[in-house]
Amino acid sequence: MSGRGEIDRLVTLLGRLPGLGPRSARRAALALLRQPHARMLPLAQAMEQAARAVRTCSTCGNLDTTDPCAICADPTRDAGLVCVVENVGDLWALERAGVHRGVYQVLGGTLSALSGIGPDDLNVQPLLDRIAQGGVREVILALGATVEGATTMHWLHERLARFDIKISRVGQGVPVGGALDVLDDGTLAAAIMARRPA
């Protein structure tokens, strides 16, 4: 069948995206191909423009079209409050929630011996440089409640302990609106361990 090479390539490339398996990639490809002028061409143009314009912020590791990024350059942000996250997706989630008015440090991963990610692979030096320059009064460690996240938080805490700053971590446990009987044992344990005065 003529033309299958291009379709197969499209499906293969879409299937490499996180969250898209082969079936989802085929459905997405079909939706794009059914309306190429309304969906596929604008998407291709947006992707090309983003590939050319988006860069990594040299201050925090965020993705933006400017360096420093809009968050780091915003004078209304609290530069003395730095929230450390694993990846840009975590930063975007916190921004979407509107819960952090400080700045960020994107590590680009967590320590993982199994994945071969060591301390030199994490984007930590810009954070240490910012703290050493002064003005940072608190670092919030907002890493996932995983073994790798806990290991990375412990390692970071040791590196940051020499500075005269407050080091905190995000609370873990029962989500807002969460019922106790549907939570897993690890989440319940974290909620009890992270209890605070009422």
pLDDT in tens, 81-120: 999 999 999 999 999 988 899 999 999 999 999 999 999 9
Task: Round to whole Å and give the CA distance between 154 and 152.
Answer: 5
b/e for 170-192, b at 16 or more Cβ within 10 A? bebbbeeeeeeeebeeebeebbe
pLDDT of residue 121: 96
Decide if pLDDT at 1 tops 60.
no
Domains of the chain, CATH where assigned: 4-53 (1.10.8.420), 79-169 (3.40.1360.10)
Helix (H) or strand (E) holding 49: helix 41-53
Condensed to tens digits (0 to 9), the pLDDT of residues 38-66 reads: 999 999 999 999 999 999 999 999 999 99
Give me the pLDDT at residue 51, please.
Answer: 97
Strands 55-56 and 166-169: unpaired
Give the C-alpha separation, 59 to 81, whole Å.
14
The amino acid present at 196, given as its one-letter code, is R
3 state SS of 191? helix
The pLDDT of 13-26, averaged and rounded, is 95
**In this structure, which long-range contacts are made by residues 95-100, counting pairs with CB atoms below 8 Å and at least 24 apart in sequence?**
95/71, 100/140
Q: Which residue has the tokens 């050493």?
A: 132
What is the reported pLDDT for 59?
96
Residue 174 has pLDDT above 70, yes or no: no
pTM tops 0.95, yes or no:
no
